[in-house]
Amino acid sequence: MVKAFSQEFINLQKKRLEEDLKDLLAKIEELKKEDPFLDPDHASDNAAVDTDVREQVGHETVEAQIKDLNYRLSEIKAALLRINKRKYGICLRCAKPIPKARLEVIPESAYCIECEKKLRV
């Protein structure tokens, strides 16, 4: 194991990740409440076609936002798991330390900048 960061930094990052996790879960619940398809009147409403289209677009928008948030949620959970396994801050691809500045901006980062670029090509 490569020890790249102080325990204080790791603890701070863990706290940030746990707060982000909590916030994301709350945001997902709020978005679910905004889904027009979950409105009890939706099923019995014989509204005009334009209303149906608006509801469909609203539903798809909420679904897309939830999908994005769930992706970030999985990234955060993975980062917390790496902290518990004492592998936080180590690139999953090259095994070099991820720059501290990168982790301060994106605490769930799993890759150093160079490996991230290679994965995105």
Q: What is the pLDDT along the chain (121 residues), one digit of tens a residue?
A: 445 699 999 999 999 999 999 999 999 999 988 877 666 555 555 555 556 667 777 778 888 899 999 999 999 999 999 999 999 999 999 999 999 999 999 999 999 999 999 988 7
Q: What is the pLDDT of residue 60?
A: 83
Q: What is the pLDDT of residues 46-58, one digit of tens each?
A: 555 556 667 777 7
CA–CA distance, 44 with 32 (Å, rounded to integer): 20
Q: Specify the pLDDT at position 30.
A: 93
Main-chain dihedrals φ then ψ at residue 97, nearest 5 degrees: -60, 140
Burial class (CB in 10 A: 0-12, 13-18, 19+), 64: exposed
Phi, psi of 90 (to 5 degrees): -110, 125
- The per-residue pLDDT for 1 is 44
Tell me the chain's radius of gyration from C-alpha atoms: 20
Q: What is the pTM of this model?
A: 0.79
